[in-house]
Amino acid sequence: MEIFRPGLNFDHLLSDVVTFGGTFVTEAFTREYLEYINEEIDSLDYGQYQSGEEAKVYERHRDFRARIYDTEAPIPRLTDMVEYIGWRIRSAGVSKAYNELFYPDDVNVWRYTDQSSGIGRHRDYSHDQLLIVGVTTKGYCTLEYYGDDPENTTPKIWHAGPGSLMLLRGPGFCEHDDRPWHGVNPPLHGERVSIIIRQDIRNSQPESKKDY
Ligand SMILES: [Fe+2]
């Protein structure tokens, strides 16, 4: 089964990441694949992966997450997807020119409920290296992209929907490693589900090392 729509070019996407700090594309994934991955995502027990203070934060926002790699329960389709995306990125010429060591090992599935307030303007953590990959599998919202200038009052607006793909620059991918500012608005209606894929430098042993 094809994961990405024909013609999706990671060299173009990664060139934009190098130049602008982030990029976004709608309908990157095939409908067939979205159906397949959503089937597994629908079966996830979001609550069971929460703990401590973090759980309280998520509860307050009525958003939930499930994590892979830190649970005994296998999430095979999502795991394969993450490994495939890592490989596609590593295989791109732009990665070979800059850094081809993107082995994602931190994956969160976020469910933004219809009561969600979204996430205000922020940068991701500096321990999340090289690239941040965001995939919307269900629902709609707008994302605000400020790039390196948090005072920019006219951010780019990206329309996230099923199959949209966002790439953000993390430290270490290219010579310019400022983390871009961005925000997530509440779902337009109903829920939105997104997968955020990262490489956390604090994990000493990346688990996703499969090449295709
Ligand atoms: Fe973020």
The alpha carbon of 179 and the centre of ligand 1 are apart by a number of angstroms equal to 10
Give residue 41's identity as a one-letter amino acid code.
Answer: I
Range of the domain at 191: 10-198
pLDDT at position 64 is 57
Is 210 among the domain residues? no
Is 175 among the domain residues? yes
Tell me the pLDDT tens digit for each residue of 64-81: 556 555 555 678 898 899
The alpha carbon of 57 and the centre of ligand 1 are apart by a number of angstroms equal to 16
Tell me the pLDDT tens digit for each residue of 166-203: 999 999 999 887 899 999 999 998 999 999 999 988 77
**DSSP code string of 88-150:** HHHHSHHHHHS-------EEEEEEE-TT---EEEE---TTB-SEEEEEEEE--EEEEEEET-T
pLDDT at position 44 is 78
The alpha carbon of 199 and the centre of ligand 1 are apart by a number of angstroms equal to 13
The alpha carbon of 44 and the centre of ligand 1 are apart by a number of angstroms equal to 22
The alpha carbon of 139 and the centre of ligand 1 are apart by a number of angstroms equal to 18
The alpha carbon of 9 and the centre of ligand 1 are apart by a number of angstroms equal to 23
DSSP conformational letter for 23: E
Read off φ and ψ for residue 166, nearest 5 degrees. -120, 140
pLDDT band at 116 (very low <50, low <70, confident <90, very high): confident
| 131-138 and 141-147 strand pairing | unpaired
Tell me the pLDDT tens digit for each residue of 22-56: 999 999 999 999 999 999 988 877 665 454 444 44
Half-sphere exposure of 180 (CA within 13 A, CB side): 28
pLDDT at position 74 is 73
Is 85 among the domain residues? yes
Residue whose C-alpha is closest to residue 131's, from 47, 17, 16, 12: 17
Is 90 among the domain residues? yes
Is 92 among the domain residues? yes
| Contact assessment for residue 121 and residue 136, using Cβ atoms and an 8 Å cutoff | no
Is 118 among the domain residues? yes
Distance CA(88)–CA(121), nearest Å, equals 29
The number of domains in the chain is: 1
| Residues contacting 140, CB < 8 A, separation 6+ | 159, 160, 161, 187, 188, 189, 192
Is 189 among the domain residues? yes
Is 109 among the domain residues? yes
pLDDT at position 42 is 87
Tokens read off for 174: 């290219």
The alpha carbon of 122 and the centre of ligand 1 are apart by a number of angstroms equal to 6
The alpha carbon of 60 and the centre of ligand 1 are apart by a number of angstroms equal to 18
CATH no. for residue 175? 2.60.120.620
The alpha carbon of 129 and the centre of ligand 1 are apart by a number of angstroms equal to 13
The alpha carbon of 16 and the centre of ligand 1 are apart by a number of angstroms equal to 18
pLDDT over 50 at 62, yes or no: no
First and final C-alpha spacing in the chain? 14
Looking at residues 5-12, what average pLDDT do you find?
A: 96
The alpha carbon of 184 and the centre of ligand 1 are apart by a number of angstroms equal to 8
